[in-house]
């Protein structure tokens, strides 16, 4: 069974005002004292972000337990410096740029200016083990059309600097300002993939291959496919659902490759439009059907995803989890809908954030 690991980026907020709070160095120092240098936390581009990574897991119950444990630890460490953590993919309140004092991050700020300064965004990255780069690239070629559905499921960033953006995932629109972000062409082979990335770096625009900010890519440090399209999810249960679906997509694509089923030949322009629609509408309206590239009701598209990966989910023992998780999301909505419902109920972005802080640890 393929192992799965998750990286989550959390928003650090002041525990009184609920405004973004640039204290990640202090939070990490607290983690160092509590757990030594081998802890799961690390800094991100902005001081108002904290990232953690789980261990590789084969059982979703174990992954769920670790995500909840790490969210609780993050909250504990943040609390010691007057902060709290919220699983929000953008800040609902205004914020000032606070790029961490790191050589790489400072280079990004110098080179990209306001694009880097605006990137207070929190995503969820799912790593799934592959046997080789060749298998990994075959997977990347075949999962491309389905990634927009994952974005719709995880949309959790409706608010941006004090106002409602109108989007389900405004994070995806902010992230898309990087020159290397978004969908990519078919690679065809591991050589094709590595040549593609090398050619991008050779332009001088990208610092190194780590800046290949594709929706899904080969991980640099691990033998995995890294799916990077999702917003961080408000509820840990949604993160586990996404991890199960991504593993199902990877296994299904690998089986298609071995059976010599070719990838769907959709153009990047169509995939970009599908991604925009998913980021805009989430689960509230139509999506672009991954097979036909035509509009279809969101619920029908979600059910198509489930049908596409059903055999792999069943073989992994994840089918009941996926079926129940998708029923719940279709009934209650994704994080963007939950945030908007909270705001309508409370009338205050500050109170909404306080509720999201509590919900992050549920």
Q: So where are the chain's domains?
A: 4-360
- Supply the pLDDT for residue 36: 73
| C-alpha angle 174-180-185 in degrees, rounded to nearest 5 | 120
H or E stretch covering 51: strand 49-53
- Supply the pLDDT for residue 216: 98
H or E stretch covering 160: strand 159-160
> Is 333 strand, coil or helix?
coil
pTM of the entire predicted model: 0.98
Q: Which CATH number fits domain 4-360: 1.20.1250.20, 3.20.20.70, 3.90.1150.10, 3.30.590.20?
A: 3.30.590.20
Question: Measured between alpha carbons, how far is 77 from 34 in angstroms, rounded to an integer?
Answer: 9
Tokens representing residue 230 in the block: 């999702």
Strand-strand pairing, 83-86 and 49-53: unpaired
| 287 within 8 A of 301, measured Cβ to Cβ | yes
Question: Measured between alpha carbons, how far is 1 from 13 in angstroms, rounded to an integer?
Answer: 38
CB neighbours of residue 257 within 10 Å: 18
Q: Please state the φ and ψ torsions of residue 77, each to the nearest 5 degrees.
A: -65, -40
> Is 203 strand, coil or helix?
coil
pLDDT in tens, the chain (362 residues): 999 999 999 999 999 999 999 999 999 999 999 977 789 999 999 999 999 999 999 999 999 999 999 999 999 999 999 999 999 999 999 999 999 999 999 999 999 999 999 999 999 999 999 999 999 999 999 999 999 999 999 999 999 999 999 999 999 999 999 999 999 999 999 999 999 999 999 999 999 999 999 999 999 999 999 999 999 999 999 999 999 999 999 999 999 999 999 999 999 999 999 999 999 999 999 999 999 999 999 999 999 999 999 999 999 999 999 999 999 999 999 999 999 999 999 999 999 999 999 999 98
Instruction: Please give the DSSP secondary-structure letter assigned to residue 18.
Output: -
- Supply the pLDDT for residue 252: 98
- Supply the pLDDT for residue 280: 98
Strand-strand pairing, 49-53 and 41-42: antiparallel
| 144 within 8 A of 183, measured Cβ to Cβ | yes
């Amino acid at each position: 069974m393929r192992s799965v690991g998750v990286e989550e980026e959390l928003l650090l907020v002041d525990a009184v005002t609920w405004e973004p709070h640039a204290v990640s160095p202090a939070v990490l120092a607290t983690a160092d004292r509590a757990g030594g240098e081998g802890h799961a936390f690390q800094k991100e581009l902005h001081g108002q972000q904290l990232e953690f990574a789980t261990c590789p897991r084969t059982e979703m119950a174990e992954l769920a337990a670790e995500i909840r444990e790490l969210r609780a630890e993050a909250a504990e460490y943040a609390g010691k410096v007057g902060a709290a953590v919220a699983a929000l993919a953008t800040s609902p309140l205004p914020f000032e740029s606070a790029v961490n004092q790191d050589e790489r991050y400072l280079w990004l700020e110098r080179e990209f200016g306001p694009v880097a300064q605006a990137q207070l965004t929190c995503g969820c990255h799912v790593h799934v083990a592959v046997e080789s780069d060749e298998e990994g690239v075959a997977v990347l070629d075949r999962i491309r059309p389905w990634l927009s559905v994952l974005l719709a499921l995880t949309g959790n960033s409706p608010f941006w600097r004090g106002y409602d953006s109108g989007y389900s995932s405004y994070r995806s629109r902010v992230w898309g300002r990087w020159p290397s972000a978004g969908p990519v062409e078919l690679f065809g082979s591991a050589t094709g993939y590595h040549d593609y990335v090398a050619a991008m770096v050779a332009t001088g625009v990208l610092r190194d291959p780590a800046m290949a900010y594709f929706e899904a890519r080969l991980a640099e440090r691990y033998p995995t496919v890294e799916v990077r399209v999702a917003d961080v999810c408000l509820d840990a249960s949604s993160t586990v659902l996404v991890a199960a679906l991504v593993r199902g997509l990877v296994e299904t694509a690998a089986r298609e490759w071995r059976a010599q089923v070719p990838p769907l030949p959709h153009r990047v322009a169509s995939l970009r439009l599908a991604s925009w629609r998913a980021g805009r509408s989430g689960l509230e309206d139509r999506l672009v059907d991954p097979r036909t590239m035509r509009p279809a009701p969101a619920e029908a598209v979600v059910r198509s995803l489930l049908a596409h990966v059903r055999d792999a989910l069943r073989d992994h023992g994840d089918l009941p989890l996926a079926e129940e998780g998708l029923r719940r999301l279709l009934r209650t909505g994704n994080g963007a809908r939950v945030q908007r419902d909270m705001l309508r109920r409370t009338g205050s972005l500050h109170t909404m954030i306080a509720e999201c802080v509590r919900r992050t640890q549920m």
